[in-house]
Amino acid sequence: MTFRTTCVAKFIAATLATMSLAPLLTRPVMAETKMVVFAHRDAPATTPRPIYGANIHYGLRRTLGYNSVAQGIKQLNDIGAVSFRDYLPWQSFDFRTGAPSLVYSERLMSFLPQARFKPLLNLGGANSQVPGGVPPVSEEGLQYFDRYLAAVVDATRQYDPIYEIWNEWNMYIGTGPRMPRLQGAGEASDPRAAVHYARIARAAVDTIKKANPHATVIVGAVGDDTDWVWAQAITRYGALDHADGLSVHLYNQCARLVSDRTAKEMIVRLEKLQNALKTIRNGQQTPIYVTEFGWPTSQGNCGMPLDVSAYNFAHFVLQSATLPWLKGAWMHELKNIGPDPVDRENNYGLFTFDDQPKPAACFMREAIDLVKSAKLLELREPFPDVFVLRAITARGQTVALWTSGPFKRANYRFDVPATHARMMCGDTIPTSQPASLGAQPVVYEFDQGAQITVAVDTGALPAPGTK
């Protein structure tokens, strides 16, 4: 009896205590407000911006839906691209008559003189038709490879392309079954090892520069590379010694955390790479080219919703444009290369396989137009994954705001009304009212002389222990 009475008393006391604390436990914790101030500044001379373009497929023997030169040119124009990346493979040249002659890639050679865009030509690919061509790590194979490169320069010099040496050497040599994932820089017994690529890259750069001293040649085309170990290794082995920059590929659609499937994650990775290269190269800044980045809209594992993918493309352009050492970025890719809605590789395009624009086509265009028009860009991140960008243009000032993804929300308000406001690729919105912010960028226009202040907060946060 005493035991039961004591238990009841304790239960009542605990209940009363909980009731008295309940308001404290459920009361929202008010978030901090941060002020982002953009002082008036005279527009300086226009700062060079990265090249923005798209991957296309006119150079391969497989058409992959790229049947029309006119359609490709229209779609590149539609997204605001100033460049394209395509392949001019080693296998497209015939060595049987002695001097290498171009026998394939006719669609690309037809596209080049018609397209008024800066070409980036990826060169390489294993070639089983010549001795030592799979891949060219032997002296004999390298001699054939050098002859192919000289022939490429001769065939394309008039189009002033950027040349890129091989594609994702660290992942796949280009023929046969795929091998287990390469660990770090790779062992010398593995043809994908950094030591082998660096040798090929050094020879290729010298061959192209000898044929055309004014050519821009980049090396790397680095595929998935944890902590950039392979990229650092090829740098130590001298791959960049005479090259004009390092090219890398960025993907994160399969990241475990949704918050890592973002443009911000890619930008942070690029900054880590630049810092690592500075350590290796005695503080020298390395020009970096992102020759592939994108998010597939396939159904199922690792596919992204159409709207999230579209916002990510805009975010990447808006954020990357502020990196002074980024020389260019080519999204992957212009259109879907197949009709299968589930196959991931089929669904990276900004346009569908039957050439209909996805939402991302508009967001790429508007983001590129914004940064191309800017004489000055200033990017702030008042809270993690919350961004405010000010662009000074010849016409006035533009402020864009966004969050990294649907997992992040914020609120904002300007101290003075804008002259115009809209959702990117969307409707007009009020120019002065406080508003909430998500992944779809909002765009405000202000007079040239205005000092712009925006208050940003992340709203009423849930109390500790609640969702």
Per residue in 176-203, pLDDT (tens digit) is: 778 899 999 999 999 999 999 999 999 9
Outline which parts of the chain fall under CATH 2.60.40: 29-45+377-461
**Taking 70 as the threshold, does the pLDDT of residue 27 lie above it?**
no
Say how far apart CA 247 and CA 218 lie, in whole Å. 6
The CATH class given to the 51-374 domain equals alpha beta
Encode pLDDT of 105-159 as tens digits.
999 999 999 999 999 999 999 999 999 999 999 999 999 999 999 999 999 999 9
Indicate the pTM of the whole model.
Answer: 0.91
Q: At what angle do helices 306-320 and 263-280 cross, to 10 degrees?
A: 40
The CATH class given to the 29-45+377-461 domain equals mainly beta
**Taking 50 as the threshold, does the pLDDT of residue 18 lie above it?**
no
3-state secondary structure of 414: strand
**β strands within 299-344, DSSP E:** 326-331
Of 438, 326, 436, the residue nearest 377 (C-alpha): 326
Encode pLDDT of 408-429 as tens digits.
999 999 999 999 999 999 999 9
* Per-residue confidence band for 459, with pLDDT thresholds at 50, 70 and 90: confident
Say how far apart CA 390 and CA 292 lie, in whole Å. 27
Under the phi-then-psi rule, with left for phi > 0, alpha for psi from -120 to 50, and beta for the rest, what region is 200? alpha
**Taking 60 as the threshold, does the pLDDT of residue 29 lie above it?**
no
Encode pLDDT of 258-278 as tens digits.
999 999 999 999 999 999 999
* Per-residue confidence band for 375, with pLDDT thresholds at 50, 70 and 90: very high
DSSP state of 345: G
Outline which parts of the chain fall under CATH 3.20.20.80: 51-374
Question: Per mean pLDDT, which range of 126-140, 218-232, 354-368 is the poorest?
Answer: 126-140
Angle among Cα 276, 267, 162 to the nearest 5 degrees reads: 80
Provide the greatest CA pair distance for the chain.
107
The residue assigned the tokens 């950039």 is 228
**Are 387 and 319 within 8 A, CB to CB?**
yes
Mean predicted confidence (pLDDT) in 39-49: 79
Which ranges of 226-305 does DSSP label H, i.e. alpha helix?
A: 229-236, 263-280
